[in-house]
Structure 1
Amino acid sequence: MAIVTTSAVVTGCLLSLRQVGALQPLELASYDLMVRLRPDRDADSRLLLVAITESDIKAQKHWPLSDWTIATALQKLQQFQPSVIGLDLYRDLPQEPGKAALTKQLQQPNVIAITKVQDADDLGVAPPPGVPADRIGFNDVTSDPDGVIRRGLLFVDTDQTTLYAFSLRLAIAYLHQQGISPQAGLLNPSNLRFGDTEFIPLEPTAGAYQSVDANGYQILLNYRARSQLARQVTLTQVLSGTIDPSWVNGKIVLLGTTARSARDIFLTPYSTAEKQTASMPGVVIHAQMVSQFLGAALNHEPLFWFWSDWVEVLWIGAWVVMGGSLAWFIRHPLGLGLAITVTITALLGTCYLLFLHQGWVPTATPAIGVMTVAILVVSYRAQQAQRQQMMMMKLLGQNTSPEIARALWKSRDRLLKSGKLPGQRLTATMLFTDIRNFSTLSEQMPPENLLEWLNEYLSAITEEVRVNQGIINKFTGDGLLAVFGVPMNRLTQIEVSQDARLAVECALAMRDRLQELNQDWQQRHLPTAQMRVGIFTGPIVAGSLGGKDRLEYGVIGDSVNIASRLESYAKDQQLEVCRILIAKDTLVHLQDRFAVEPWGPLALKGKQQMIDVYRVLGYASDVLI
């Protein structure tokens, strides 16, 4: 029940935190880590990147580059018959010289130019004049709250029309030459489909996202590689004609800036691990998207998939229950630590394996759940153990031997039920003690001195009970009731006999301690004392007695009454400092270890049947009869 309750609470709290997006940063960090751990795929041979580097800008001695420079680069690339060229440079305004030459190159049917979608701050950038709309694509990228690019934007609806992404325009143009055209989706006619691959748009809660801005038509960007995405040449190489024509022929060529001074760079999942190149140029990100489109359409490469919300809830809940179960059933700290480590490792390994197959499932949330529920269950167990210990000490008192205490604590789960020690039938040995003529003694001393004197006596005989593995059940003013054989059930004859022997040894030890006390009291001019002990072995019922506000550990049964009657029998027939009376029911367990004096069958007070009574004289080896 504790496992279910704690797991349900932890799962509910995690889902609430997840609902408000509190765990989204951790999930995105897990996503980034898996992207970095995933091996890069081979460079995409269908692409060529023409990078405008810092060296190129210095060589041209002009930024932005002139229209003539761009036109010359396009003209040289066209000589080698590329499939399509994407110009990732804004050309809404002329950069003389070369306006006419660039306009001529932009009229080529395989050239795709860019625009920037007008945003809330009215910062849009118009496309180059004269280029038809079907060869214009926006180069806007969509970043997450932490500034990392994990999603690709395919379409944006405006008041006038639907705009296509730059990368999508390039892919459509290339695939058209391969005989593949964009189709309506089979699952939803509004979805984009290339061949058998349907691009499912992201929802605000897709994967580990909880409140992502999913406006437009977005998909999760499946990065191909962190650096060697495709063959890359520089603008200078193109202008100088030093590139191999086969690198261009039939390829998708993307021309854009990679110079950091151009500030067209973005954070990606690789950024955390990269020191030299912590950001990726925008033209490379567009190339990543183009490669993803081509891979899905031509190579049937799977897109990222996600579970529905209810499956993710079951996934998180299952791991939380597993963590709670481990914490409940594994008691050893090292074993629990190892089990939790193995469980979290298995969780992370499973998530990574699914990620390798394009599945993005909650990773950080169930890991946090496993650790949290383990801590809570361990804390609950510790609190429960403390409560049980307090309960057992309250019921049994602190007057138990270390051996008994260890045995009781080891069996606490079995013994304690609903905060009580349930009644159980046992065979035990009861030991009653009392001081002879205590009333007379109490008249001879002031109450304060009497209390101190009595505590000295009780402390001494209590110590002997502990040493002999008994439990003091109650104090009866100037006496006590000790029980040997509770609350652990004694199942064998050997165990019952051992309890009886320990009870008699305890009584003899009490006699010796009282003699020592009397000698000390005489020297201190205090009254001396005599005591009586009654011992009986037999069946009893032991368990918690009382109500919810006051409980004590009690033993009841005729055996308890007989032990009490043995102690009080013939109070005046006592010459020694300590008289010890036992019944035959105890004697049969002693195996001639002690010397006894038969008193014969006696009629004890309140008993109809006669009881065979014996007086213990001492150890058989020490007494001459």
Structure 2
Amino acid sequence: MGVQRLLRFREPGSYASYSLAELLDGKVPEEKIRGQIVLIGSTAPSFRDLFEVPYTRFHRGESLFEVSGVEIHANRLATLMDERNGNLVQGWIMPGWGNLLLVVGFAASGLLLGERIGKQRLRILAVVLLTSGAAGGLGMLLWHHIWIGMTMQLMVLLSFSGAAWLRRGVESQHHSEQVQRLLGQTTSPAVAQQLWEQRDELLNDGRFKGQQLPITTLFTDKASFPSVSEGMSPRELMDWLNRGMEIYVPAVTQRDGMVNKFTGDGMLAVFGVPLPGDPSAEAQAALEAACEIKSGLERLNAELKSEGAPTMRIRMGIHSGEALVGSIGGAERLEYAVIGDAVNCASRLESHDKNRHEGELRVLLSSTTLELLPTEFRRSLGLE
């Protein structure tokens, strides 16, 4: 039964070499031969006795670095002599079962990091740190002649963590689709994930349970819409409306609000559903959305003026109060309903005294919402 030994490769050119012509011409010093081990071999490429060695990976060129077979034999003899003289550090080699345990451990670590850490950035950071630490640690062991496989372990770690990320991504997409179907509207990924995690508490037979929640409602409508629509073709009118919606919807959803429905040329947005939150924070989020909508309308109207198109003016009503929320409808059509005075009051505020309208956006908010706003926020808006 043969025994495998590690071969120490000297740097290429470590051994003195002479050609046969130099030997025959007497140009080889006698002291270089007498009492020395002399190997005779061919170094010509035509003999195909050239082999790639570990130095190949550090060599850059048009072809891979190769050394002759006789030089590899010289390395073998030198290694045996080092071992005889006690100069060869054999080190310790990890047995096969040990490498298998490491592979299983790294696979479990990759799955754990991919599944247990909630935020994507933290998952990536944890995997990068673990991979870097493992590579550094295994490299240090190799430096101290403890021979442990590195490539397989690190590849398994990255592969299993990547598989866990992919599974979570598919599951998250599925969650979002389920929530979107139940709500009837797109919601932010963070809210969709929260809803799915609390589905046992919130859902009953695939529907949102009826709840009485404190909410803040934002209701909008366009001023002078009938006159604007008369001067535009159906296609132009739809494009005009959608350019406005591209401003309103992100302003709401980016603050964890929900666009509950579109009302022709307006919309109903709700803050504080389907997950109950801090009423003060929800009221502030509604006002922040209104401020962002105003800024967006100013930019949009500048573009519309340059195009010769009608400008857009919006009325908005905001009110806070309790409302009945939950899924309503049948198997063929199901939507998330928000019912109560909180919605009705916002609608009345929006439509109140329509002739009083200056600028792109007119906002009327109830005293209930005003009282919920933090003092510093009210001052920043000039409401105190």
Are 1:221 and 1:289, in contact at CA under 8 Å, matched by a contact in 2? Answer: no
Query: SS of the residue aligned with 1:251?
Result: coil
Amino acid at match of 1:354: L
What is the DSSP-based 3-state SS (H/G/I as helix, E as strand, rest coil) of the residue aligned with 2:41? strand
Contact 1:396-1:472 at 8 Å conserved across structures: no
1:431 is displaced (CA, Å) by 10
1:589 to 368, 371, 375: 368
1:233 corresponds, among 3, 18, 31, to 18
Q: Deviations over 1:440-496 (max 9, x none)?
A: xxxxxxxxxxxxxxxx9xx9xxx8x97996757689xxxx9985532343325x346
- Aligned to 1:331, which of 120, 138, 160? 120
Instruction: Please say if 1:537 is aligned against 2:302.
Output: no
**Bigger helix share:** 2
Could you tell me which amino acid in structure 2 is paired with residue 538 of structure 1? E
> 2:181 matched to which residue of 1?
394
Q: CA deviation at 1:264?
A: 4.2
Structure 2 match to 1:219: 4
Following the alignment from structure 1 to structure 2, what is the Cα–Cα distance between the partners of residues 384 and 395?
17
Three-state SS of the structure 1 residue aligned to 2:120 is coil
Change (3 A) 1:425 1:363: farther
Equivalent position of 2:90 in the other structure: 303
Q: Is the 8 A contact 1:545 1:554 kept in 2?
A: yes
Query: Of the candidates 285, 294, 299, which is equivalent to residue 81 of structure 2?
Result: 294
- CA separation in 2, counterparts of 1:499 and 1:260? 77
Question: Taking structure 1 as reference, are residues 419 and 292 closer, same or farther at Cα in structure 2, changes over 3 Å only?
Answer: farther
Contact kept in structure 2, 1:222 and 1:303, CA below 8 Å: no
TM-score, normalised to structure 2, is: 0.53
Aligned to 2:101: 314
Matched AA of 1:225:
R
Label 1:274 to 1:396 Cα distance change in 2 as closer, same or farther (>3 A).
Answer: closer
User: Is the alpha carbon distance of 1:280 and 1:548 closer, same or farther for their aligned partners in structure 2, counting shifts above 3 Å?
Assistant: farther
Contact 1:257 1:281 in 2 (8 A): yes
> Under a length normalisation based on structure 1, what TM-score does the superposition of the two structures give?
0.35
- Shift in alpha-carbon separation, 1:303–1:425, aligned structure 2, 3 A: farther
Q: CA deviation at 1:317?
A: 3.6
CA contact (8 A) 1:391 1:419 kept: no
Q: 1:368 aligns with which of 140, 155, 158?
A: 155
In structure 1, C-alpha distance between the alignment counterparts of 2:52 and 2:283, rounded to whole Å: 80
Report SS of the residue matched to 1:280: strand
Q: Is the 8 A contact 1:229 1:288 kept in 2?
A: no
Distance in 1, matches of 2:74 and 2:87, equals 18
In the TM superposition, 1:141-540 aligns within 5 A as 216-239=1-24, 241-271=26-56, 273=59, 278-303=65-90, 305-324=92-111, 329=117, 331-332=120-121, 336=124, 346-398=133-185, 405=187, 408-417=188-197, 422=202, 426-428=213-215, 471=258, 484-492=271-279, 494-495=280-281, 537-538=321-322
Do the aligned partners of residues 339 and 232 (structure 1) sit closer, same or farther apart at CA in structure 2, a change above 3 Å counting? farther
Work out which of the two has the higher radius of gyration on C-alpha atoms and give 1 or 2.
1
Cα contact 2:258–2:271 (8 A) shared by 1: yes
Letter in 1 for 2:153: P
d(CA) in 2 for partners of 1:467, 1:488:
19
Q: CA deviation at 1:287?
A: 1.7
Residue identity matched to 1:378: W
Cα gap change, 1:234/1:546 in structure 2, threshold over 3 Å: closer, same or farther?
A: farther
SS of structure 2 residue aligned to 1:372: helix
Amino acid at match of 1:362: G
For 1:327 and 1:282, the matched residues in 2 are separated by 48
Q: Is the 8 A contact 1:500 1:590 kept in 2?
A: no
SS in 2 for 1:387: helix
TM-superposed deviation, 1:217: 0.9
Give how far 1:590 is off.
5.4
User: Residues 549-588 of structure 1, C-alpha deviation per residue, up to 9 Å, x if partnerless?
Assistant: 9976467xxxx57779x99xxxxxxxxx99xxxxxxx976
CA contact (8 A) 1:496 1:589 kept: no
Question: Structure 1 stretches of 5 or more lacking a match?
Answer: 1-215, 433-455, 503-534, 568-576, 579-585, 593-625
How far apart in 2 are the matches of 1:499 and 1:227?
A: 70
CA contact (8 A) 1:224 1:291 kept: no
Contact kept, 8 Å, 2:179 with 2:195, in 1: the verdict is no
Paired residues in the alignment total 287
CA distance in 1, matches of 2:287, 2:23: 105
Label 1:550 to 1:356 Cα distance change in 2 as closer, same or farther (>3 A). Answer: farther
Structure 1 position 246, deviation (Å): 3.9
- Structure 2 Cα separation of the partners of residues 466 and 280 of structure 1: 68
Residues 177-216 of structure 1: per-residue CA shift (max 9 Å, x gap): xxxxxxxxxxxxxxxxxxxxxxxxxxxxxxxxxxxxxxx5
Cα deviation for residue 352 of structure 1 reads 4.0
- Report the Cα offset of residue 301 of structure 1: 1.6
Quote how far apart the aligned CAs of 1:387 are.
Answer: 2.0
Q: Could you tell me which amino acid in structure 2 is paired with residue 227 of structure 1?
A: P
Q: What CA distance in whole angstroms lies between the structure 1 residues aligned with 2:329 and 2:89?
A: 70
Structure 2's unaligned 5+ residue stretches are 203-208, 220-237, 289-318, 346-350, 353-364, 372-384
